[in-house]
Structure 1
C-alpha cells in the first residue's frame, strides 16, 4: 500500500473505530485512515524510517548491490538511507506545510512507490530469505512466551521490565492484558534489537554475514 497523501477522518467515533479494527482483522487488506493529523504523520514516518534502512541491511547481507537500485528513485531520493530520509522528510514538510493533510509531492511519491516495489521484489520476497522464515517465526514465538511469563510472574529482572514497563504509565498496565503488553513491546523493537534478544545459537545464519 502506498499513499501520496493522507488526510484524517475526524468524524470517526469509537464505535466506528471498533468496527474498522474488526474489519481489519477479518480482511487484512482493508485500508484504514487515521483519525488525526498526528496519526497521518506517524503513518508517513513509518515508511520514511524503514525504506532506506531495509536497503542498507540488504546491501550488508549481500542480497542486493547499491548499483541495482532503480535510477528513477535514486535520482530523486538518493541512494543511501540518510539521503533518502532527508529528502523524504524535506519533501513532506514542503508539501504539507499549513495543509489539512500530510503528503509527498507527485515526483517524490512516484520515486518512493518505485523504491518500495523494488524492496518488495528484491528484498522481502527474495528467495534467499525463505529458508529463514520458519526460524524467525519460531524466534517470535519464543520471545513472546518468555516475555509473557515474565509479565505474568512479575520478573523485574526481565528486559521487558527494564526496557519497557519500568518507564511506562501505570494506567497502561492496568488497561492492557499481559499478552497485549508483550505484543506492544515486541512491535516496538528494531530488527537488530529483536535479534539481540534471541539466543545466539538460534539466530538465522544470514545475520552473521560479514560486512562487504
Structure 2
C-alpha cells in the first residue's frame, strides 16, 4: 500500500542561509547529502566508538557504521511511505556529526566538566554547530533549512518540521538499541538470554527480527495514523528495551572500562582549557573552543593526546636534568 497522498513529502526546500543557484543535476537535498559525505567530521565518525572504548575486535560498530545502518532503515521507511528519500538520507548522514569520542560515556563526561560553568553539551546541537560553523574552516556547509532542522531535532524535546525528519528521529532509536545490544553480546557484556522477556516477546528474539518488526510496524502504523508513529505495544516494547540497555550496557562498568573514557575526557578538557595555544579554535570564547576541539576528536586521537599529556611531567623533568638543573 503506497502512502503517497497521505503524508506529504518535502520535495522542495525553504532555502539556505546563503542563497545558491541551482545545481542543474542534483536537487537541493542531494547536494546536502554530498556535502555531508565529503565533510571532515563525517570521515572522523569511522574512528568514533558507538559504545565501547577501544573494542578488541573488527566487527564492533562505530559512529559511521551506525549512521549508515540507521540511514538504510530510514530510507526503507521513507520509500514505503512515499516520502522524500534524499532528504531522509541527508538528515541521517548528518545526525551524529557532533558526537564526542567514546559514545554516550564521552558525552556524559563532557557534560560533567561543563556543569560548573552553567553549560551543557548535547550532540544534536553540536552536530548543527559542526555543519553551520566548524566545517570548511569556519565557512560551514550552508545546508538547507530542512536538513538542519532534522539534524537538530533528531533527539530532544522539540519536534522536527518534516515527516522525513520524524522518520530519522525514530529510526535512530531503532538502530542503536538493536545494534548496541548486538555489540554488547559480542563483547560478552550481556547474553541474548538475559534480554527482558516482555519486549522480546513483542519485537523478536534476535536483532534482524526486532528491526524487521519495528520497521514494518512503523510503516503500517504511520499509514493508518497519517503521522510518523509506532503502535502502542511496539513503542512500549522499544522504550523498555532502551531503558534496560542503559542500565545493563551503557552504565555497566565493563562497557566503561573502569572509567577510562571519563578520565581521558576530563583530563583533556582541563588541559586544553588552560592551554589555548595548544588547541585549534575559531575565535570563540575559551570554553567553547575547548569543547569544539575535544568533541571533534576521534577515540584514538583522544587516547594518543591523553598519553602525551600524561608523560609531560616526566618529559619536563628529563629536560631539566639534561640542562643541568639538578
Q: Structure 1 length normalisation: TM-score?
A: 0.51
1:96 aligns with 222
Change (3 A) 1:180 1:130: closer
Q: Measure how far apart 1:120 and its partner are.
A: 2.5
Q: Measure how far apart 1:104 and its partner are.
A: 0.8
Following the alignment from structure 1 to structure 2, what is the Cα–Cα distance between the partners of residues 119 and 107?
A: 18
Change (3 A) 1:111 1:35: closer
Q: Which moved more, 1:53-62 or 1:75-84?
A: 75-84
2:263 aligns with 138
Tell me if 1:36 matches 2:161: yes
Following the alignment from structure 1 to structure 2, what is the Cα–Cα distance between the partners of residues 125 and 151?
A: 32
Change (3 A) 1:97 1:196: farther
2:242 aligns with 116
1:198 aligns with 303
Change (3 A) 1:179 1:87: farther
Q: Measure how far apart 1:98 and its partner are.
A: 7.2
How does 1:7-86 map onto structure 2 within 5 Å?
Answer: 32-37=157-162, 38-86=164-212
- Residue by residue over 1:14-66, the C-alpha shift from the partner in whole angstroms, topping out at 9 and shown as x without a partner, is xxxxxxxxxxx68x9xx612141344333212211211122112212222110
Q: How many pairs are equivalent?
A: 147
Following the alignment from structure 1 to structure 2, what is the Cα–Cα distance between the partners of residues 57 and 196?
A: 23
Q: Measure how far apart 1:181 and its partner are.
A: 4.7
Following the alignment from structure 2 to structure 1, what is the Cα–Cα distance between the partners of residues 213 and 300?
A: 29
How does 1:165-180 map onto structure 2 within 5 Å?
Answer: 178=289
Q: Secondary structure at the match of 2:258?
A: helix
Q: Which moved more, 1:95-104 or 1:114-123?
A: 95-104
Following the alignment from structure 2 to structure 1, what is the Cα–Cα distance between the partners of residues 305 and 206?
A: 29
2:56 aligns with none
Following the alignment from structure 1 to structure 2, what is the Cα–Cα distance between the partners of residues 108 and 179?
A: 41
1:87 aligns with 213
Higher helix share: 1
2:317 aligns with none
Kindly indicate whether the alpha-carbon contact (under 8 Å) linking 1:143 and 1:198 is maintained by their aligned counterparts in 2.
Answer: no
Following the alignment from structure 1 to structure 2, what is the Cα–Cα distance between the partners of residues 32 and 99?
A: 21
Runs ≥4 residues deviating over 6 A: 142-146
User: Which structure's CA Rg is the greater one?
Assistant: 2
Gaps of 5+ in 1: 1-24, 153-172, 187-192, 203-212
- Residue by residue over 1:161-199, the C-alpha shift from the partner in whole angstroms, topping out at 9 and shown as x without a partner, is xxxxxxxxxxxx899x7556547646xxxxxx6368634
2:319 aligns with none
Q: Structure 2 length normalisation: TM-score?
A: 0.36
Q: Measure how far apart 1:103 and its partner are.
A: 1.1
Following the alignment from structure 1 to structure 2, what is the Cα–Cα distance between the partners of residues 84 and 57?
A: 15
Following the alignment from structure 1 to structure 2, what is the Cα–Cα distance between the partners of residues 130 and 143?
A: 17
